[in-house]
A and B are shown apart, each in its own frame.
Chain A
Amino acid sequence: MNKNGQNGNVTVLQVNNIKKYYPSIKAVDDISFEVSAGEIASILGPNGAGKTTTIEIIEGLRTKDDGEISYFGKFREVNSEVKNRVGVCFQENSFFEDLTVSETIKLYKSLYTKSLDTKELIEIFELGEKVKTRIRHLSGGQKQRLAVALAFVNDPDLVFLDEPTVGLDPHARRNLWEIILKFKSRGKGIVLTTHYMDEAQQLSDRVYIMDHGNIITRGSPQELINSSGLESVIEFPEEYSALFEDAIVAGEYAYLHTRDTVSAIRELLKNNVTNFVVRHPTLEDVFLKLTGKKID
């Protein structure tokens, strides 16, 4: 087995051909990927694509029907050694609501054999003003920051972050991105599931796009954009989508991915459509092109 990831770092997670079938659906169908130390791998996909099931199988919360998972190159199952080196932030987090922030951090610190310094953690996640506040009195954003802080409390080598910036304002989101990048630079392997395409594009070293239980494409954000063959994207009101055979409608807008930008603009102007935007393609456009769906 390859012990090193693409950038020469140690592979902290290797997933080979895992499957999870339910009577009516193939929730996870033969998925393989790997995560190296110091790498952020993002899993993207529309609702029901199998992202959460995949992550929960890896976290040991669900059983798999087939396939193999290797943690840190030597463990085949989630035992206490693995748990000591893994951090998790779920999409929905629940704490003991009547404990304070510092009590909660101390509790989780005590459950692991190694941990980060409480003060450092509080400082990094900007929870200093709230250390003595009971969790039930925190705002949604503060709770979310605490949830992410707890994912790093044991100074883990591999971290799963499921929608870590949901509910945060744009400023707080960017702050959290910086924190995540800081931990990445410390050599942590991070698996990120997010529906914010800009987040995935900004943070990820590798992106895995899932649909119907499969990984339909993989690569760095730039690789995915380059390999998509998209030169430019034209956004215009959806009522004019009939003008182009391959326009994709998502909500109030239609999106045209094209190499012949000039001809497309001419066609729009010819039909008196002036409220359109031409821009470079993003990861979101790749996602839209591949799945035909826009993530809300």
Chain B
Amino acid sequence: MKKYWALFVSLFKQLFLRSKESVFWLAIFPVVLFLILTSIFGNMDENVQFRVKILGQSSTLKEVLSKVEQMDVEFISDYSQETIDALKKNIEEDKLDILVILSENFDRSYSSALLLRKTLLFRQVPVELYYAPIRQSSAIACDVIEGIFNSMDVVENVEYEVHDLSQKQYDYNNFIYPGVVGMAIMSTFLFGFMNDLIYFRRKGTLKKLSMTPTKITTVYVTAAIVNVIIMIVSLIVLSLVASLLKVNVLSYLPSTIVHTLLSCVVLTMLTLAIMTFSNNSTGLIIFQQIFFQLQMFVGGFYFPLKTLSPFIVKLASFLPLTYTVDGMRAAEGMNSLDLNHFIVPLIYLAVSTSIVLLRSKKLGVSD
């Protein structure tokens, strides 16, 4: 037990406490990445055009709205339920900021209301507004539309019905948190664990350790445990920062623990399996880069998979960390995949473990 502890303490000092690079890449980088992504994408609504669709026709509104530069307005005449449902879904999916449903013959009803107000024949003109106030762009669009109606002196004449279509999944801070956790896991294993092993193997440290009675697999396992601890520290820091940005960290906690631990085991075995095929660092670095880039850009880390092309979604479904990130998002109802989130990672684990067991001699330092 003493030797395992000594090895653990030594590796912990070497790989984390005294490694400035490691502190940056494994602890600071995920937080910086999170802050960058949330600051770029979390508040982007302020400078975009408001996407407005108006069901019904009104020359009065058309004229007024044409003068508001930031409004991208489209009038639609199809009052079918399918159209209305599709437009509502567009709001939920952040493809539309506000839907205004006017009564049929709005202009005539509005004129009548103006003329007949204060008479017994007066009837308010019903207008329905659908928007997602959780999104800044949608909330502002609603304020603008209400302001326009107010300026038209319709307050007394128009009866608003406002519907909140806010969905949790499109709060970007909440959405991106599992993606950054996925990045932290990937950094830990591809750029932490794998690089450590490549370096120790190339420099001869493993060769020296292999001449002691300690098994070389003990060194690998200890290095993996150290990296997992580094990752946990990194995730704690990340979660603290995320909670300051109102990410629902507690709601993510159970799924984060389950999916993170599973992916740690999967990536440890995958790393060892890959290392049985290549003794040269160039080959391993090529694998690292391909896997990292693929997983990062097509794995749904930064954007919802369902908004990407079917080919990309198909490709992402073959990558293990796609399920880690999507599985975590399921806790907040923000997942894109309706598949089981454990099957693919477990297949990776089974195949990698089999390779490691069959080719375990290749993990040694002898010929």
In the complex formed, the residue of B with least CB distance to A61 is B366
Interface centre among A92, A93, A98 (most CB of B within 10 A): A98
Indicate if the CB atoms of A103 and B213 lie closer than 8 Å.
no
Q: For B200, list chain A residues within 8 Å (CB).
A: 94
In the complex formed, the residue of B with least CB distance to A107 is B10
Q: For A97, list chain B residues within 8 Å (CB).
A: 14
Q: How far is the CA of A88 from the CA of B14 in the complex (A)?
A: 23
Indicate if the CB atoms of B207 and A63 lie closer than 8 Å.
no
Quick one: CB contact mask for B195-220 with A, threshold 8 Å, 1 for yes? 00000100111011111111000000
Indicate if the CB atoms of B367 and A61 lie closer than 8 Å.
yes
Indicate if the CB atoms of A88 and B211 lie closer than 8 Å.
yes
Q: How far is the CA of A134 from the CA of B205 in the complex (A)?
A: 16
Indicate if the CB atoms of B366 and A110 lie closer than 8 Å.
no
- A292 interfacial contact with B, CB 8 Å: no
Q: How far is the CA of A88 from the CA of B204 in the complex (A)?
A: 13
**Given A94-B205, A103-B13, A134-B18, are A86 and B7 also a contact pair (CB < 8 Å)?**
no
Q: Is the interface of B mostly helix, strand, loop or mixed?
A: helix
**Given A61-B365, A99-B14, A103-B10, are A88 and B2 also a contact pair (CB < 8 Å)?**
no
A1-28, CB < 8 A from B:
none
Indicate if the CB atoms of A96 and B204 lie closer than 8 Å.
no
In the complex formed, the residue of B with least CB distance to A151 is B211
- A60 interfacial contact with B, CB 8 Å: yes
Q: How far is the CA of A88 from the CA of B207 in the complex (A)?
A: 10
**Given A98-B14, A111-B7, are A83 and B212 also a contact pair (CB < 8 Å)?**
yes
Q: For A92, list chain B residues within 8 Å (CB).
A: 204
Q: What is the distance, in angstroms, from A228's C-beta to the closest C-beta of chain B? A: 36
- B118 interfacial contact with A, CB 8 Å: no
- A30 interfacial contact with B, CB 8 Å: no
**Given A97-B14, A107-B10, A110-B2, are A90 and B204 also a contact pair (CB < 8 Å)?**
yes
Indicate if the CB atoms of B207 and A90 lie closer than 8 Å.
yes
Contact of A94 among B2, B18, B204, B210 (CB under 8 A): B204
Q: For B11, list chain A residues within 8 Å (CB).
A: 96
Q: How far is the CA of A62 from the CA of B207 in the complex (A)?
A: 12
A131-175, CB < 8 A from B:
134, 150, 154
Indicate if the CB atoms of B366 and A60 lie closer than 8 Å.
yes
9 tightest Cβ-Cβ pairs between the two chains A and B: A110-B6, A94-B203, A98-B18, A80-B213, A111-B212, A96-B14, A94-B204, A94-B205, A88-B211
Known: A90-B204, A107-B7, A113-B213. 11 other contacts (CB 8 A): A61-B211, A84-B213, A93-B204, A95-B208, A96-B14, A98-B19, A106-B6, A110-B7, A111-B209, A111-B213, A150-B208
